[in-house]
Every structure is written in structure tokens, then in C-alpha cells.
């Protein structure tokens, strides 16, 4: 649990956990056997690395996931996209404002229901997403495969998905 970090790209911040001196022989004890602790630490590491790999495109994991969803599901409205990703509608507004300001996607008022916006990728957004996918595959996911091996990596994703869906 706990655990902090933030390596927006600068890669500064305190190394945390595996610091250096100071924690001269502090024992984690049961903590390392529980799931939550390594799970949280791994999640932070992965997001950190994702940010690093994505630095040239300046996309956060959340923004990347939105673009990916828009590509796969063009023309959906804000409520649909946000709820699929577990983003609350009010919080999705500023996020979309940002993506739209960068011309990566756009809101198109629906003709049928003039309350809702169809969300679509712009050409620029499509291009950025294509580059982003390549960066993630070549740098981020490739390193993962290197560390765990493809079979273990797949097993890991499967177990995490099972927890997310069934726990």
C-alpha cells in the first residue's frame, strides 16, 4: 500500500522503498507476502515507465486509453466512453477539453439527440495514437516480455483481469 512517485518524464523523485541508506535493514515482513503491497508498487512502476516511454507524445495512460477507445468505438458519446473507463462524467469534461485543444479528438453534436456529443478521433489523433502504440509496444511492453517472458506476461495479465472482473 502507500507508495508514491511521479516521473512525468524528469525521472527525479526519491527512489522510495529501495532507497539507499537510511532504511538500513528495515524488514517488510508480512507486507511482501500480501497481494496489495506488491500490486500497488508494480502498478506505479508500470505507469512510471509508460509515462517515460510516452514522453515524446505527452500522453498519460488515461489519455491513451481514451484515444484507443475512440479508435475502436467511433461516435460514442461522453457518458459511454467515460463509464467504460471508470471515469466519472464530470471529470471527463476537462480531460476531453485537453484532448480537443490538442486536436486529437473532437466532439460532434448528435443530430438525433442534440444533448449528446459523438466523439471521434481527428486525423492528428489517429496519427498520434499510431505512434503511441508503436512506442508502447517497442519500449514498454517489450521490456515487460524481456523481464517475465511472454508466457508469464500473458498469465499475469490473465490473473489481473480475473481479479478486476471477478473479485
Partner DNA sequence: TATTGTTATACTCTATAACTATA
Partner DNA sequence: TATAGTTATAGAGTATAACAATA
Question: Which residues in this chain contact DNA in the complex, by CB under 7 A?
Answer: 2-6, 12-14, 22, 60, 62, 77-79, 86-93, 96, 107, 112-117
Binding residues among 68-107 for a copy of itself as defined by CB under 8 A: 68-69, 71-73, 76, 79-81, 83-88, 91
Options 8, 9, 11, 19; binder of a copy of itself; rule CB under 8 A: 19
- Environment class of 99 (CB within 10 Å of its CB; exposed 0-12, middle 13-18, buried 19+): buried
Query: For residues 48 and 100, which CB has a smaller minimum distance to a copy of itself in the complex?
Result: 48
Say whether residue 11 binds a copy of itself (CB under 8 A): no
Nearest approach in angstroms of CB 135 to DNA is: 18
Residue 6 binding partner per list a copy of itself, DNA, none, with a CB distance cut-off of 5 to 8 Å that depends on partner kind: DNA
Say whether residue 139 binds a copy of itself (CB under 8 A): no
Residue with cell 532507497: 19
Question: Contact 125/98 with Cβ under 8 angstroms?
Answer: no
3-state DSSP helix/strand/coil percent for the chain, to nearest 5? 60, 5, 35
Residue 153 binding partner per list DNA, a copy of itself, none, with a CB distance cut-off of 5 to 8 Å that depends on partner kind: a copy of itself
Cell readout for 108 is 460532434
Question: Contact 53/136 with Cβ under 8 angstroms?
Answer: yes
First to last CA, the chain: 18
Question: Contact 57/131 with Cβ under 8 angstroms?
Answer: yes
Options 10, 12, 27, 115; binder of a copy of itself; rule CB under 8 A: 27
Amino acid at each position: 500500500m502507500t507508495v508514491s512517485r511521479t516521473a512525468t518524464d524528469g525521472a527525479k523523485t526519491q527512489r522510495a522503498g529501495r532507497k539507499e541508506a537510511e532504511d538500513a535493514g528495515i524488514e517488510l515482513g508480512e507486507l511482501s507476502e500480501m497481494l496489495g503491497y506488491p500490486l500497488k508498487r508494480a502498478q506505479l512502476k508500470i505507469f512510471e515507465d509508460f509515462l517515460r516511454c510516452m514522453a515524446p507524445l505527452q500522453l498519460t495512460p488515461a489519455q491513451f486509453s481514451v484515444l484507443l477507445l475512440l479508435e475502436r468505438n467511433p461516435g460514442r458519446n461522453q457518458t459511454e466512453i467515460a463509464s467504460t473507463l471508470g471515469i466519472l462524467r464530470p471529470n471527463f469534461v476537462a480531460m476531453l477539453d485537453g484532448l480537443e485543444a490538442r486536436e486529437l479528438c473532437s466532439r460532434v453534436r448528435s443530430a438525433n439527440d442534440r444533448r449528446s456529443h459523438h466523439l471521434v478521433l481527428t486525423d492528428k489523433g489517429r496519427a498520434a495514437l499510431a505512434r503511441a502504440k508503436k512506442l508502447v509496444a517497442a519500449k514498454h511492453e517489450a521490456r515487460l516480455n524481456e523481464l517475465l517472458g511472454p508466457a508469464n506476461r500473458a498469465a499475469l495479465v490473465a490473473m489481473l483481469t480475473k481479479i478486476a472482473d471477478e473479485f
